Amino acid sequence: ECSNPQDMLFLMSKAGYKPILEYCGGTEIGGAYITSTLVQPSAPSTFTTPALGLDLVIVDEEGHPADKGEVFIVAPSIGLSTELLNKDHHQVYFANTPQSSLRRHGDQIERSPNGYYRAHGRVDDTMNLGGIKVSSVEIEQIVNSVEGICEAVAIAYSPPEGGPSQLVIYAVLETHLQQNKELLKNSLQTAIRQRLNPLFKIKDLVIIDTLPRTASNKVMRRVLREHYQAVLASYKLV
């Protein structure tokens, strides 16, 4: 779960502004892959170093080293899982990675010029909403069953200032129906609350004519995330 600098400062103020150590990892890692420490200067909502006993690399969409992109863990490392229940471990963590020794984790990380790291949420189709991981497909199966929806896609929006990911729904409507956006959003929220999890709150509903797709007809969620960032930026300019 990405943290927010303002929230971190508030918590620090309750303890005499002592630093809070950021720590990010997963059960399948046995702990963290990136952290901050007691012996390094820290800043709110940032990490200072890969965790002890492993290393990481950040790559762009072409698989080249970058300062912002998908993070991969350099294997081996004590604590990394070796098998998964009911899933192919190699397919999940190693298939189609930039190098055979790199292990997929699915987070987007940014390395700043001063060497600090910041988390920007997930790069795959998994969302982390309020600390609960959920597949976008699970949400889409529910919202696509709501009357008036032709096709819908769920994305996780990561606020630029940090903080938890927020759920945004992009929807193509049935052509013969005229829908009130707020009423439709309420209908989608009700469906998610009743059939999936009442803690998953829709931040926004964006009505769109068509969904961006690759040549193989896969929805381009990255394009939708970039589009939503542009939409919010245009609001701020008004």
Per-residue pLDDT of 31-76, as tens digits, reads 999 999 999 998 988 999 999 999 999 998 788 999 988 999 998 8
Q: Percent of the chain beyond pLDDT 70?
A: 96
Q: Please say which residue of 121, 141, 163 terminates a domain.
A: 121
**pLDDT value, residue 34:** 96
Q: Tell me, yes or no, whether 220 and 137 share the same domain.
A: yes
Q: Would you mind telling me the total number of residues written for the chain in this entry? A: 238
Q: Please say which residue of 100, 121, 142 terminates a domain.
A: 121
pLDDT at 234 > cutoff 80 = no
Q: Tell me, yes or no, whether 175 and 109 share the same domain.
A: no
Q: Tell me, yes or no, whether 116 and 170 share the same domain.
A: no
**pLDDT value, residue 179:** 75
Q: Tell me, yes or no, whether 72 and 172 share the same domain.
A: no
Q: Quick one: which of 164, 163, 142 has its CA closest to 154? A: 142
Q: Which pLDDT band holds residue 216 (cuts at 50, 70, 90)?
A: low
Q: Tell me, yes or no, whether 87 and 49 share the same domain.
A: yes
Backbone angles phi, psi at 217, to 5 degrees: 75, 15
Q: Tell me, yes or no, whether 152 and 137 share the same domain.
A: yes
Mean per-residue pLDDT of the chain: 88
Q: Are 19 and 41 in contact (CB under 8 A)?
A: no
Q: Are 113 and 103 in contact (CB under 8 A)?
A: no
Per the structure, how many domains does the chain have? 2
Q: Tell me, yes or no, whether 150 and 116 share the same domain.
A: no
Cis amide prior to 5 (ω within 30 degrees): no
Q: Percent of the chain beyond pLDDT 90?
A: 51
Overall average pLDDT of the 188-193 stretch: 96
| Domain coverage including residue 199 | 126-237
**pLDDT value, residue 237:** 46
CATH classification at residue 151: 3.30.300.30
Q: Tell me, yes or no, whether 159 and 194 share the same domain.
A: yes
> 88-121 pLDDT, tens per residue?
999 989 998 998 889 999 888 999 999 999 988 7
pLDDT at 178 > cutoff 80 = no
pLDDT at 238 > cutoff 60 = no
Overall average pLDDT of the 154-171 stretch: 86
Q: Tell me, yes or no, whether 158 and 181 share the same domain.
A: yes
Q: Please say which residue of 121, 149, 178 terminates a domain.
A: 121
In whole angstroms, what is the distance from residue 7 CA to residue 130 CA?
Answer: 14
CATH classification at residue 77: 2.30.38.10
Q: Which pLDDT band holds residue 176 (cuts at 50, 70, 90)?
A: low
Q: Tell me, yes or no, whether 108 and 152 share the same domain.
A: no
Q: Tell me, yes or no, whether 191 and 143 share the same domain.
A: yes
Q: Quick one: which of 47, 44, 48 has its CA closest to 10? A: 44
Q: Tell me, yes or no, whether 117 and 131 share the same domain.
A: no
Of 5 and 176, the structure prediction assigns the larger pLDDT to: 5
Pairing of β 166-173 and β 202-207:
parallel
